[in-house]
Structure 1
Amino acid sequence: MAVQRQDQDRSSPGGQGWERFGARVRVARENLGRSLDEVAEAAVVSSHMLAAIEAGEEAPGRRVVECLDRDFSACGVLLDAWARVFISARLADGMPVDRLEGDAAQVRIYDPFAVPEPFRTPEYAAALDRSASPMRRAPADDRGVRRLLRADHAPPYFRVVLDEAALHRPVGTPEITREQLRRLRSLIDKDHIALHVLPAAGPGHPCPRGGFRLLTFSPHHALAFNPHAFGPGQLITDADRVHGYTDLFSALLAEALPEHASAALLADAIGRETPRAITAGPPGDPLIATTSAADPAALARP
């Protein structure tokens, strides 16, 4: 998402925002009588990097700040201070939302129409692009999936709510849809990804207007994001509006199925999409018919 660039002292390491944060780290360390080496070891960084953080010359990542906050018994205060500077600096730099997600502690996603962007296979993403822009052919972009699973990256905790229809809506070819569902099934086996399906047979829909995301960086700092069919979408920073989206996600979660039931529904959707080979005639008959479990009429044909 492109955001107008602001003054350097708010947008980059070495500016006043990071200098104030670094000074706060230094004061907390000195008040505890700790050396740079002692604190650096607890935060799993070098003493040189910690000195650069304290001088405002280095912008630390969330995991380092979480270690510092825990080591200083700051109860989230230091993490809040980091999140305030981080969000301001990154928005001033025009950082897109998909890169902001990497430093969030939690990402909550609601998508009523399709498997959400961070979990799409390249083929599934390309098929969605083609359906939205039938006159234009854009290459698939799998950066979200690769970044999500990168070995050297500590991903956020993802909690995803999908409408049941998104599991059954064909996108591209049947094979593309099938592979996407299998991909989603493999991803939700990971500890940091939780899937909840909003059943089609449920009561009135809590959010009939479209999908959104919530990016939480610290106990008191979060952003909301509304994706658009074209363009970068709308990033929401106003605290009252973000709180409204937080309440809305809670309402969606209350109506959605728990994780184990959602996984079972996903497995059922994969089963319906998976072609199965059946044999006709006596044992050893070479006649083999390939059909889909989603087509009971085909199974009944002679």
Structure 2
Amino acid sequence: MVLARDIDPSASPLDYYSYELRRLREEAGLKQAELGAIIFCTGSLIGMVENGRRVPTRDFSERLDAALGTGGVFSRLVGLVLRSQLPTWFQAFAELEVRATNISSFQPQLVYGLLQTEAYARAVLHAGWGQNLDEAVAARLERQRILGRERPPFVWVVLDEAVLHRPFGSHEIMRGQLDRLLEFQDRREVRIQILPFSAGQHPATVGAFTVLRFDGDPDVVYAESYGSAHVKANPETARDCAHRYDHLQAAALSVEESAALIARVREERYGDPHQVDGRALA
């Protein structure tokens, strides 16, 4: 049994979640083990969440709502909880990303976070020496929920060709990630272009950047470095980055040509080693 500790519900989204879980569980007359049995987890897990020692997942939250008849309280809270697990310097951008109507991003090193698979995200975060890996992965995947909204933002991403060749994790993880990129061909609100090596010099050699646009608010530019981030709403900076992004799009392959290159790299670099000319090896 996890020993109870005092929780201040105003301290953080996680503390508020923990406080409400204990309150509603006790109101329902259930012990931790009894609630755990209902939602197919251990009573100790319930205790750790109630004590703020374990960050809840979305699946866990949805099962809580069903078991306690909360009307979706925990499913609504978990988004705030997971966002609070993002690095402090990234949280301001994540909040803006949720409100953006248009997202334009250039990424020379990695697949943009909104387009990552869970396995690729885990490999990227692990390579960055991230702590609390499970929570970090869950928080990154939570960001992707904006793509499933009734009115998702329009997302246009330019990836340097190097992103396709730089492996994070196993070949299987990279195959899965490139498959994910190809799946977005059928999403009219998501466009992916590849800046090929043959493009040579380009106007974004300083690094990755993202331009967010909003209805009725100024554009915002986001860029980051080690352990810090820069979110700027300066009109001159926004115009400069938008101009650079236009040049990147012009130099990049078309959406269709980009998909063909992704598919080719997927087969040539990360194809199944147990297959030769499409035939399985014994």
TM-score in same-fold range (> 0.5): yes
Alpha-carbon distance between aligned partners in 2 of 1:110 and 1:279, rounded to the nearest angstrom: 35
Structure 1 consecutive aligned stretches of length 4 or more whose deviation exceeds 3 Å: 276-280
Q: Could you tell me how far 1:98 is from its partner in structure 2? A: 2.3
What pairs up with 1:147-296 in 2 under 5 angstroms? 147-150=145-148, 152-218=149-215, 221-231=218-228, 233-272=229-268, 273-275=270-272, 277-278=274-275, 288=281
Alpha-carbon distance between aligned partners in 2 of 1:122 and 1:215, rounded to the nearest angstrom: 24
Q: Could you tell me how far 1:121 is from its partner in structure 2? A: 1.3
Shift in alpha-carbon separation, 1:251–1:279, aligned structure 2, 3 A: closer
Q: Percent identity?
A: 27
Amino acid at match of 2:133: A
What pairs up with 1:118-157 in 2 under 5 angstroms? 118-133=114-129, 136=131, 138-139=133-134, 140-141=137-138, 142-145=141-144, 147-150=145-148, 152-157=149-154
Matching of residue 110 in structure 1 with residue 103 in structure 2:
no
Q: TM-score, normalised by structure 2?
A: 0.60
Q: 1:55-95 CA deviation, whole Å, 9 max, x = no partner?
A: xxxxxxxxxxxxxxxxxxxxxxxxxxxxxxxxxxxxxxx96
Q: Could you tell me how far 1:101 is from its partner in structure 2? A: 2.0
Could you say which structure has the higher helix fraction? 2
Q: Could you tell me how far 1:205 is from its partner in structure 2? A: 2.5
Alpha-carbon distance between aligned partners in 2 of 1:221 and 1:112, rounded to the nearest angstrom: 26
Alpha-carbon distance between aligned partners in 1 of 2:185 and 2:92, rounded to the nearest angstrom: 25
Amino acid at match of 2:175: R
Alpha-carbon distance between aligned partners in 1 of 2:174 and 2:98, rounded to the nearest angstrom: 26
Unmatched 5+ stretches in structure 2:
1-89
Alpha-carbon distance between aligned partners in 1 of 2:104 and 2:264, rounded to the nearest angstrom: 24
What is the root-mean-square deviation of aligned Cα atoms in Å?
2.5
Alpha-carbon distance between aligned partners in 1 of 2:156 and 2:276, rounded to the nearest angstrom: 42
Greater Rg by CA: 1
Q: 1:137-191 CA deviation, whole Å, 9 max, x = no partner?
A: 522231122x1342x4411111110101101110011111111111111123200
Unmatched 5+ stretches in structure 1:
1-93, 290-302
Secondary structure of the residue aligned to 2:248 is helix
Contact map agreement 1:132 1:229 (CA 8 A) in 2: no
Secondary structure of the residue aligned to 1:194 is strand
Q: Could you tell me how far 1:270 is from its partner in structure 2? A: 1.7
Contact map agreement 1:215 1:224 (CA 8 A) in 2: yes
Q: 1:217-260 CA deviation, whole Å, 9 max, x = no partner?
A: 147721100133434x2101111111111111111111111111
Q: Could you tell me how far 1:278 is from its partner in structure 2? A: 4.4
Q: TM-score, normalised by structure 1?
A: 0.57
Alpha-carbon distance between aligned partners in 2 of 1:241 and 1:149, rounded to the nearest angstrom: 27
Contact map agreement 2:218 2:233 (CA 8 A) in 1: no
Alpha-carbon distance between aligned partners in 1 of 2:152 and 2:273, rounded to the nearest angstrom: 36
Contact map agreement 1:224 1:242 (CA 8 A) in 2: yes
Shift in alpha-carbon separation, 1:182–1:137, aligned structure 2, 3 A: same
Alpha-carbon distance between aligned partners in 1 of 2:226 and 2:177, rounded to the nearest angstrom: 20
Contact map agreement 2:147 2:153 (CA 8 A) in 1: no
Amino acid at match of 2:125: D
